[in-house]
Structure formats: structure tokens, C-alpha cells
Structure 1
Amino acid sequence: MPRRATLYEELSVGTRLAIRTLIPPPQQREPLRWNNFHRAFVYFIPFLFMAYLVRRAHTYPIRLLLLPTLITSTIYSTYHFRVDDPSCVMLDWLRCMMAYYIISKSLNFGLTPGGRFKIGEKRLLDISETEHQPRGGKQSLLPTWLADALEVTFVVRGFGWDFGKGVHAPPDSRSMERRTFLQATALSFFKNVFITDLSDSLLKLVPGVGSVKGGSIFKPELPTYPRYTLSTTIHIAGGTMVVCGLEACYDLATLIAVGLLGHSPPNWPPLFGGPWRATSLRELWGESWHQLLRHMFLIYGGYPGYWLGGRAGMVFGAFLASGVFHALALNIHDHRVILFFVMQAVGILAEVAWVRVTGRRVGGVVGWLWKSFFVLVLGQMCVDAWAIGGFAGATLVPKRLSIVRQALFPVMRLVFQQPWQ
């Protein structure tokens, strides 16, 4: 007589089948094409409904009921498609990043009973009420309800909102007069696009690194000093590309939000506060680095970590969530990515201990060297995993749109008579 499966075995098998239904193996996923592109992002429709509801009073039960469907549909739509072209791996990164962001926002919107308020708001409208005028700033080109839902979605750092309390805003040298602000932002956008293009183009010239096949930034055939000089140069170029690429995207979002959607310029301060000038890890990650994903990492790891281990647990949880996010979103199966981010938490807690023991904050030249060790030295393990995964050779700026490869490199080839590729 065959043995009956235990309840544990049945639950285990059912769980594995459910996971496989939501996240099938890569070879079973549908290739992403233009004719099915909309299906990979269809979850954004119910999410916009969730964003609308969180700005309306007495909608908590509806949001709770919507939450499981929204999370599962986001996972399903994201992981049922794959990008076959390895040069377009950045598209997969963007899709996964968007999915994790939407899930974190969904959790926040769905589990906040009172809804989300702008600073100064006393009450939210009921669903039955109609708002005919915008709540601040100039008239938006979109319907008020849609502009409101998009704003609570994409004002990522939360400036001007209840969930943005405690987020550091870097000082802004731009005029807050709308036209002048937009002109300065447009100039910043073109500058950051050029630097991103230049860094990306230079990385693609490095043999064994700048191809979609990938390769380590550490070249064993080189002597020690040239080997680590090259790896550090690649690391700095990659970091510059990340910083300026993010700033270019943020500049573009700022132009759309302020210029078209009527957002207030003070709600779109600079993204970075000069990370190269930071003299401690706390200053780097808390003030100088962008805070775009701060709220997401607190939701995924910081708040659970606080419940388990207080403020130290919050720091570890947030950086652990950051490491897992960077590994999963980039589909990198390399523990060094997570280790790099966890080490940042170790360094920050060491700084806290230093302050308690000595009464002095980490800073000055010694603090800058301390911070640089964690970023420029330990950070190379993360960039190496990224390079081995083929991300240096992936398409970031299409060659036909690259000013550097279409104009600058040909001019340099003529001047120096070198075979630039």
C-alpha cells in the first residue's frame, strides 16, 4: 500500500509548484517582443488604481484586497518573459528594478490604513468627491486624479510627502523660478548624457571586459601594480557611468514632472550631494548618495531588521535588502555583490561605535580614506561581478546615438591615427 504524503510534503510540493508558476525557469520564459511588450508591464494598470486609492479616504479594505493580486501579477508579468539579446541585458535590469519598486510601493500603499498625505494636507478626498483644481503648482496636462496617482508613485524620495520625512535633500544651486530651473536642468541632462556616453564607450574598449561575454576586471596576466591600476580605473569609470547615468535619468524625470505635470521645483532637488567629497560612510550613504531606493530598502529590510534588532538591525536589514536587490535585478549569481553592501553596514556601525567610544565623529582626511577604502577597494568585488556578467558590454547608449563613438572617437582616430573601435 503506497504511503500517503504528509501535510508538510503536500505543502512543500504545492509551494514549489506555485513558485514555478510565478517564476518559471529562464528557458521556459517567453521571448520579449514588440507584440507582447504590453503584457510584460500590464501590472502597472492595477498599480495605478492602487496609487489612486491611497490618495482617497476610506479605501483601506479595497487596498488590502487588491494587494495580493497586484504582487502576484507583477511577479508573473516580469518573470514570464526574457530578453534573448545579451546586449539588451539592461532592459531586463530595468524591468526587474521596476517590478521590485512597484511591489515595495504596493506593500506601502496597501498596508497604510490612513493613506498617503502631502505635507500640510489635513484630509483625503472620498472616492465620490471630484477635485477640479490641482493641489499645488501649475495646472497639469493630465487629469487631476491621474497626475496625483503618478506623483505619489514617482516622487521616489518623498519630498513634500509624509513618507519623505528624514530624507536628506542636497543643496540646490538652481533658481526656483520655473523657467530658469528647467533651463538649468536641461543643461545638466545633456552634460550627464555626454559623460555617461564617454564612460560607457571607454569601458567597451577594454579587452575581455567591454563585451557581452563578460570578463574579470582583474587581469592575471598583468603584473600586480598594472593589474590593480587597471581594475581601479575600470571601477572609477563604471562608478562615473552609474552616477551620471542616474543623474541623466533623474534630470529627464525632473523636466517631465516640473515642465509637464506641474510639480513644484523644490520637490525635485539634486540627486547626489557630491559622493566623492564625503568623509564618512554615514555621510556617503545617508546624504551624498542618491536616496531613490531608500524607502524601498527600508520596506524590504530596514523595518523588519528594526523589529528584530533595533537600529543596528535596521542598518543591516536595509543594506542586505540593497545587496539582494542589486543581485536579483541584475541576475548576478555572485555572493560578492551582497557581501559588498553588507560590508557597508559593518563600516557604518563601526563609525557609530567610534563616536560612542571617542565622542568624535568620523571625518577629515582619515574619514575620507576610510570611506574610499570601502568604496574604491571593496567596491571592486561588486564591479568585477558586474563585468563578468557582461554588463560592461551591454547596450547602454546605442551606438547610432553615441556622440562619443560617432563623432569623438573618429576625430581622435584621425588625430592620433589609432585604430579606435
Structure 2
Amino acid sequence: MDENTPPATAHPLPFSIVYILIPALMVAGVLAFKTPTWMRLLFFAWYTKHLLQGMSIKFGNSFTDNSNGSTLGGELTKTFYLLFFVDPVHDWYHRTEGKKRIASRPWWQRIYWCFCASFSVRGVGWNYQIAGVPPPVRMNRYMFLGRAAVQVLASFLLLDASQCIIKTIPFFTDPQPDASMWSYSYHIQVFYGLLFLSVPYASLKLYYYLGAFLAVLTGYSSQEDWPDFFGNWIEAYSVRNFWGRVWHQMLRGRCTAIGRTAAKYLGAPPGSASSYSIQLLAAFLVSGIMHSFGDYSARLKYPGITLPFYMLQPFAIMLEELFFLGLVYIKVDKKIYSLPTPVKRCFGYLWTLMWLTYSSSWYIDPVVQAGSGRDEILPISVIRYVQAHFQ
């Protein structure tokens, strides 16, 4: 792409309608009418071309462009999974409908339920709900609305504060060519990593709980349909737990299914170490490729420049599995002793923090070089407004 090409004048709402909602409705129709494989292949070819066109549209903001590219990459991955790996019409049903399959409904209801299922990637309330989703919040409707409003406000303030702090740090706002987080002391790396991580963390929570508030307020869905977006941070005592329990699980279902298929076709016995390793590698590869579309949209140095960050994670998970199997359990006089759980947890927290701090540079450095630290993520800043009026 020509770096001198001016950004396209795009607006989020029309963009979302043209490249997310309408294509998703078309996918639902393809699924609902049980189209043959050759038609699905033709449709997916058009669908891919259409979404690649959307990825080339720029908003003039590196953070927004990256998010849009990753989102469309996620839609591409999700659609590939829905068309060729599962049969939603015959296999899926929602808890509110008993065990009534989608296939038993009139055509327009089949389209509606396929459309709903395509956006419920964690499967909340469906018979395919993935493991590890936080339990539903047990409270009445008004308490849930109050809690969701607090979460929206807290996420907004966290995002605002993170943006304000980032604007004061030259590493983010005026990065030198080939500058890296690794050139700073360890405690600075930790701070920069947590600061940068708070941006997608707060952004995702803001949109999720805003959607939850509106859906429950209008009566479209119940509060049980909106479990917490992230897991409990107390569970982050391993890299495996961080990605599998704590961080959002929006990609887990499709990535795991593709990983299982890869292990099967490579002949790995189910439940074996080789099958586990192949599934891990395939799942993170799919996630990395999906995020590489964000690299393309944000005009990073080259598409896939952040892929090493994702491909390092399965090796860290396998390493920690070997560590806990070989070192945490101590054999003395033919007896096996395990370190106390609090000690193991402390080692786990330190290891997870050290690993994520080290590996995050593979993601943060190229994104910062693309100018994300100079972006205005929020249209308004409460913190800067208060500072300007009370100094």
C-alpha cells in the first residue's frame, strides 16, 4: 500500500452495516437453507473479497484501523468455522427454546437463530457454550443495569486515564526508529506493558457492558445472557490460565475446533501430548493470522509483523506444563511431594508476569511504530477537561 495515500473518509456505523451486519445476515441465510458445499465455497470466496475490501478502508486512526482489521479478520475466521466445521441448523439450540433445534423452525426463524448464534461466539445460553465462561451474575434486572452502568463508567475512565498517560510518554508518542521496550529497565517494561494492555482491556469492556446495558434495558435479552467478559484475574497464575480463563474467550471456540481438526488430520491420538501440542499451535496460529489482518489495516511494517507474539504463547504454555510436571513435584525416597499451593501460585504469578512482559514487546513495538500512541481513542477526555478547568 502507498503510505502517501490519504485515509478514506469512513464512518463507523455505515462501515459496520456494510461489512459486518449485512454479511452476517447473508451467512445466516446460507446456513439456514443448508446450501451445498460448492455454493458455500463460492459464497466464502465472495465473502473474503468483500471483507478484504473493508480492511483496506482507513479511518485515519491507527488504533481504529487495527481494531477494524482484526474484527473483520475475526469475522472471516468465524464464517469459515460456521460454514465448514459445524452444522448449526441441526446441532445447536438455545436454552430458552428447550432442545428444539434450529432446523425444526420456519425459514425466517432459522435465519434469525443462525444470525444470533453467529454473534454468540462464546455460546452463552447455547448447547455449545465453551468451557470456562464466567458464571452468570445472580441479581435482578435493576441491579444488573446498575452494575453494567458502573462497568461502563469504570471502563471509560480507565481508557481515558490510560490514553492521558500514554500521551506523556515519548516511547508511545514519538518512538525512535526500531525502538523497543526491551531497551528499558524491567520495571519500566512492566509498566509500559500493563499500560498498553489496559487500552484493549478497557475498550472491550466498555463496548461489551454498553451492549449488555442496552440489551437488558430494552428487554431484548436477560441478564443471564451477559456473563462477565473477562475472567477473574486471581486465576492468572499461568500463561495457560491467562489465555484460557482470564482474557476474553471470544476466539476460543473456533480456534479450538480448527486445532482439533488439525490434530486429527495429522494423525495425533486423541488426548495425547502430540494432539495437545498441535491443538495449541493451531489455535494460536489462527488467532495470530486473524490479528494479522489488523496489521494490514493499520499499515504496520508488514502484515503478520505481530504474528510472532501469538506463536510464542503455545511454547510458553508447553514449557510451563513441563516445569510443573518435572520440578514442582519433588521425589524423595520414592515419595512424591508437592509444593504448597500458595507457593506454586506465587511462582506462577511471577512467571506469567515475566513472560507476558517479555513477549508483549513483539506486539507493542510494531504497533507503537505505526503511531498508535498518538491516536485519540476517545472522542472526549473527562480527565483532560477537569485538568484544563481546575488548574
Same fold (TM over 0.5): yes
2:102 to 124, 130, 133: 124
For 1:66 and 1:29, how far apart are their aligned partners in 2?
Answer: 35
Bigger mean CA offset, 307-316 vs 103-112: 103-112
For 2:324 and 2:38, how far apart are their aligned partners in 1?
Answer: 43
Name the count of aligned residue pairs: 362
Q: Does 1:253 align with 2:211?
A: yes
Q: What are the residue-to-residue correspondences of 1:80-159 with 2, within 5 Å? A: 82-83=56-57, 86=60, 88-111=61-84, 112-113=86-87, 114=90, 116-119=92-95, 120-126=98-104, 128=106, 146=112, 148-159=113-124
Answer yes or no: is the 8 Å Cα contact 1:168–1:287 preserved in 2: yes
Q: Relative to 1, partners in 2 of residues 1:27 and 1:218: Cα closer, same or farther, differing over 3 Å?
A: closer
Q: Relative to 1, partners in 2 of residues 1:27 and 1:337: Cα closer, same or farther, differing over 3 Å?
A: closer
1:21 maps to what in 2? none
Q: Does 1:51 align with 2:28?
A: yes
Q: Relative to 1, partners in 2 of residues 1:81 and 1:49: Cα closer, same or farther, differing over 3 Å?
A: closer
For 1:124 and 1:103, how far apart are their aligned partners in 2?
Answer: 23
Q: What are the residue-to-residue correspondences of 1:245-324 with 2, within 5 Å? A: 245-260=203-218, 262-275=220-233, 278-298=236-256, 303-305=261-263, 307-308=265-266, 309=268, 310-324=275-289
Give the partner amino acid of 1:168.
G
Q: Relative to 1, partners in 2 of residues 1:53 and 1:376: Cα closer, same or farther, differing over 3 Å?
A: same
What's the C-alpha RMSD, in Å, of the aligned pairs? 3.6
For 2:265 and 2:321, how far apart are their aligned partners in 1?
Answer: 20
* Length-normalised TM-score, structure 2: 0.78
Q: What are the residue-to-residue correspondences of 1:16-415 with 2, within 5 Å? A: 25=1, 32-34=8-10, 41-42=18-19, 44-52=21-29, 54=31, 56=32, 59-61=33-35, 65-79=39-53, 82-83=56-57, 86=60, 88-111=61-84, 112-113=86-87, 114=90, 116-119=92-95, 120-126=98-104, 128=106, 146=112, 148-165=113-130, 167-171=131-135, 174-210=137-173, 216=179, 218=181, 225=185, 228-260=186-218, 262-275=220-233, 278-298=236-256, 303-305=261-263, 307-308=265-266, 309=268, 310-331=275-296, 332=300, 333=302, 337-357=306-326, 358=329, 363-398=344-379, 401-407=380-386, 409-410=387-388, 414=391
Q: Name the % identity.
A: 19
Structure 1: runs of 5 or more not aligned:
1-24, 132-143, 415-421
* Length-normalised TM-score, structure 1: 0.73
Q: Relative to 1, partners in 2 of residues 1:96 and 1:157: Cα closer, same or farther, differing over 3 Å?
A: same
SS in 2 for 1:209: helix
**Greater share of residues in helix:** 2
Q: Relative to 1, partners in 2 of residues 1:99 and 1:212: Cα closer, same or farther, differing over 3 Å?
A: farther
Report how far residue 188 of structure 1 moved.
0.7
Report how far residue 403 of structure 1 moved.
0.9
Structure 2: runs of 5 or more not aligned:
269-274, 330-335
For 1:342 and 1:236, how far apart are their aligned partners in 2?
Answer: 20
Greater relative CO (CA pairs within 8 A, separation 6+): 2
Q: Relative to 1, partners in 2 of residues 1:303 and 1:386: Cα closer, same or farther, differing over 3 Å?
A: farther
For 1:40 and 1:170, how far apart are their aligned partners in 2?
Answer: 30
Greater radius of gyration (CA):
1
Q: Relative to 1, partners in 2 of residues 1:38 and 1:394: Cα closer, same or farther, differing over 3 Å?
A: closer
